[in-house]
């Protein structure tokens, strides 16, 4: 691991010296266990120190709530505590959420063997995670908050979508967690189906499991995600025809309609989605919408990314799980063997508690 770690920063440093501009880094890594969580965080720390990157955006894969590794609570605790200190934005890709969406999207009615079904789910989860990351990071031809590209005197375009994502969803310190969900028109038969896809986003959120501290002792108990006090949200429309762009933009509410207590109602379905997200009262424009017309795309899609105070439920659950294990000394000798002491765990607990308080102060 040390050899790989020493080689990767040197390779990245050589690559960055060959390009004109290196505005930041996007890291895709796992929080489950093994080398995924710790090694990914270490790379990010070194990239920030040695490469001088100005933007750190991570796509962190959260493990299944039950199973995978007995160490996952510790690994997630230590990794998230480090990420919240140095990353500008942390997009959480929940395996539980991805699996729920894959199962909802499945159209197969035939009973298949368990092994085949598991392999199909794994493939579907990987494809969906890749699609959601692509929908967030791919260039957008039209953005509300800023231009997709800025040109210099030589007409060279700079890719600024990751910057815009962080400016839109995580502009405040300590509140950097983003979750996302997507819908497309592959299962809809109507020609103009933006409304159906946005409704589908809410339907999927209702089926994405959340595990709060009250349900920890009931492994079969889980509730759908019900965002509360949403700080900011981003809705990205991607399409392949100009006519699709016109129909999508017709759904966009005026900025004045975002103001709390306004007499003008939200156009459907924006009203329903915003009501479900329950945004904080102090943000007059809680929902930003981007549009992209890509002729190479085979289908239309809508992706919702949001930063909500309800993430504190997951963080409290994580702290509870890790604290229970720490109190009985479970598996701590494995960490002590590699120099991770009680002080490191205490600092991680305090950091996540600080993040929870930061979210609560915004309500």
Claim to verify: residue 224 and residue 344 sit in the same structural domain: no
The predicted pLDDT at position 207 comes to 78
> Quick one: pLDDT at residue 158?
59
Instruction: Judge whether 104 and 204 are in contact, CB under 8 Å.
Output: yes
**81 φ, ψ (degrees, to nearest 5):** -60, -40
> 157 versus 297: which is more confidently predicted?
297
* 151 falls within a domain: no
Q: What is the mean pLDDT of the chain?
A: 78
Collapse the DSSP code of 64 into the 3-class scheme (helix H, G, I; strand E, B; otherwise coil) and give the result: coil
Q: What is the pLDDT of residue 231?
A: 95
**Which residue in the block uniquely carries the two structure tokens 């230590």?**
78
Q: Structural domain tally of the chain?
A: 2
Q: What pLDDT is attached to residue 222?
A: 55
Extended beta strands in the chain, E state: 25-30, 56-62, 89-94, 149-151, 157-159, 177-184, 209-210, 223-224, 230-239, 287-293, 301-308
Locus of tokens 């007995």: 70
DSSP-based three-state secondary structure for 193: coil
Closest CA to 144 of 123, 167, 115: 167
**Is residue 320 very low, low, confident or very high in pLDDT (cuts 50, 70, 90)?**
very high
- Pairing, β 89-94 against β 287-293: unpaired
173-201: pLDDT as tens digits: 899 999 999 888 776 555 557 888 888 88
| Closest C-alpha among 184, 205, 186, 194 to residue 134 | 184
Over residues 136-149, the mean pLDDT reads: 66
Would you state the pLDDT for residue 38? Answer: 81
Q: Are 309 and 255 in contact (CB under 8 A)?
A: no
pLDDT of residue 200: 87
| Digit-coded pLDDT (tens) for 325-348 | 999 999 999 999 989 999 999 999
Task: Give the separation between CA 143 and CA 131, rounded to whole angstroms.
Answer: 20
Q: How confident is the model at residue 147 (pLDDT cuts 50, 70, 90)?
A: very low
pLDDT in tens, 85-128: 999 999 999 988 898 888 887 754 444 555 566 667 888 999 99
Q: Are residues 137 and 187 in the same domain?
A: yes
Give me the pLDDT at residue 349, please. 98
Tell me the pTM.
Answer: 0.83
152 within domain boundaries: no
Residue 58 shares a structural domain with residue 186: yes
CATH number, domain of 54, equals 3.40.50.1440
For residues 170 and 223, membership in a common domain is answered with: yes
- CB of 208 closer than 8 Å to CB of 314: no
Please give the average per-residue pLDDT across 279-293, as a whole number.
89
User: Does residue 74 share a domain with residue 35?
Assistant: yes
Q: Which structural domain, as residue segments, surrounds residue 323?
A: 317-360
| Domain shared by 62 and 192, yes or no | yes
| Alpha helix positions (H), 19-160 | 36-46, 72-86, 95-105, 114-137
**85 within domain boundaries:** yes
pLDDT tens-digit profile of 215-264?
445 444 456 677 889 999 999 988 876 666 666 666 655 444 443 433 33
- How many angstroms separate the CA atoms of 1 and 242, rounded? 49
Instruction: Mark whether 291 and 344 lie in a shared domain.
Output: no
pLDDT-derived band at 361, boundaries 50, 70, 90: very high
């Amino acid at each position: 691991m040390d050899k790989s770690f020493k080689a990767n920063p040197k390779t990245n440093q050589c690559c960055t010296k060959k390009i004109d501009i290196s505005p930041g880094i996007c890291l895709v890594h796992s929080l489950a266990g093994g080398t995924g969580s710790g090694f990914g965080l270490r790379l990010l720390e070194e990239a920030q120190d040695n490469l001088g990157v100005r933007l750190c955006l991570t796509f962190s894969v959260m493990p299944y709530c039950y199973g995978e590794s007995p160490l996952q609570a510790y690994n997630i605790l230590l990794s998230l505590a480090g990420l919240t200190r140095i990353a500008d934005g942390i997009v959480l890709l929940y395996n539980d959420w991805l699996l729920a969406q894959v199962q909802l999207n499945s159209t197969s009615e035939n009973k298949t063997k368990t092994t085949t079904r598991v392999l199909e789910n794994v493939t579907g989860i990987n494809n969906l995670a890749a699609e959601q990351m692509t929908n967030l990071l791919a260039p957008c031809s039209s953005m509300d908050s800023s231009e997709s590209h800025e040109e210099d005197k030589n007409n060279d375009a700079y890719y600024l979508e990751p910057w815009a994502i962080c400016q839109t969803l995580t502009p405040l310190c300590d509140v950097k967690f983003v979750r996302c969900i997507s819908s497309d028109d592959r299962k809809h038969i109507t020609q103009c189906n933006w409304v159906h896809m946005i409704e589908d986003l809410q339907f999927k959120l209702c089926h994405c499991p959340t595990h709060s501290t009250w349900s920890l002792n009931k492994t079969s108990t889980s509730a759908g995600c019900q965002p509360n006090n949403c700080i900011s949200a981003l809705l990205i429309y991607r399409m392949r025809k100009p006519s699709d762009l016109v129909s999508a933009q017709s759904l966009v509410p005026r900025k004045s309609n975002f103001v709390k207590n306004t007499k003008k109602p939200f156009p459907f379905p924006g009203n329903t989605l915003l009501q479900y997200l329950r945004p904080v009262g102090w943000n007059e424009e809680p929902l930003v919408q981007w549009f992209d017309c890509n002729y190479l795309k085979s289908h239309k899609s809508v992706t919702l990314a949001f930063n909500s105070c309800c993430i504190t439920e997951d963080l409290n659950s994580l702290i509870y799980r890790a604290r229970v294990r720490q109190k009985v000394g479970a598996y701590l000798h494995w960490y002590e063997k590699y120099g991770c002491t009680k002080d490191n765990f205490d600092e991680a607990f305090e950091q996540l508690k600080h993040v929870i308080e930061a979210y609560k102060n915004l309500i």
